[in-house]
Amino acid sequence: MEHRSWTVDDWKKVVWSDETKVCLQGFGGRELVWERPGGVLTEQQVQGTAKFGGGSLMMWGCMAAQGVGYACRIDGGLDAQLYTHILEDEFLATPKHYKLEKDKIIFQQDNDPKHTSRIACGWLQDHKVRVLKWPSQSPDLNPIEHLWWHLKRRLAAYDAEPTSIDELWERVEAEWEKIPAQVCIDLIESMPRRIAAVLKAKGGYTKY
């Protein structure tokens, strides 16, 4: 309700952020095949699984209307201290890279306890970062969720799966850099429609 009158230009002031998990095998997605009624699945129709040697990585990333921002790999889990280091490095580097004035941008993060911790809130206040008030349980509203989907779709297009977490991260970095700015613009420009859809659904699920 507070942002129902925001225009696309208002939303383009926001730097959006989030974490996501990228799997070593399958990238966390699902593949479907067509099968005739009563048919038997063949080896070509079934993706193999591994009992050992799988795994995943966590990454933090952000985006702005100018394009994707800096991203980083998270090793060993994310805590409030590490999150402030990410804010200090990757977040601050993003508006600097795009020559955006820090006092004219708005930072978006969800309500993960690490994001709202005393140390993280203190850092944001000390650096005079304006934070977008964000509701809990709101994936329908966050356009960066669709940016993750775009990234993972590109990763799934490789002919062979990566053989290690390090190789997976190399692919993530390469595909992240290739994401066109227009993808970010299109997602951010959907915000007025997302807000309208959530209001129409009275806070319920939407097509987003």
In three-state secondary structure terms, 9 is helix
Tell me what pLDDT residue 201 has: 86
Asked if the structure places residue 176 within a domain, the reply is: yes
- The answer to whether residue 37 scores a pLDDT higher than 60 is no
Asked if the structure places residue 39 within a domain, the reply is: no
- Residue 91 lies in domain: 8-24+55-200
DSSP 107-161: EE----TTTSSHHHHHHHHHTT--B----SS-TTT-THHHHHHHHHHHHHTSSS-
Tell me what pLDDT residue 139 has: 60
Furthest-apart CA pair in the chain: how many Å? 65
Write down the mean pLDDT value for the chain. Answer: 88
Please, how many CA atoms are within 13 Å of residue 52, restricted to the half-sphere of its CB? 0
Number of structural domains in the chain: 1
- The answer to whether residue 26 scores a pLDDT higher than 70 is no
How far is it, in rounded angstroms, from Cα 119 to Cα 80? 7
Contact of 124 with 87, CB cutoff 8 Å: yes
How far is it, in rounded angstroms, from Cα 187 to Cα 184? 5
Strand partners, 67: 64
Could you tell me how far CA 98 lies from the centroid of its own chain?
A: 19
The CATH number covering residue 152 comes to 3.30.420.10
| pLDDT band at residue 205 under the 50/70/90 scheme | confident
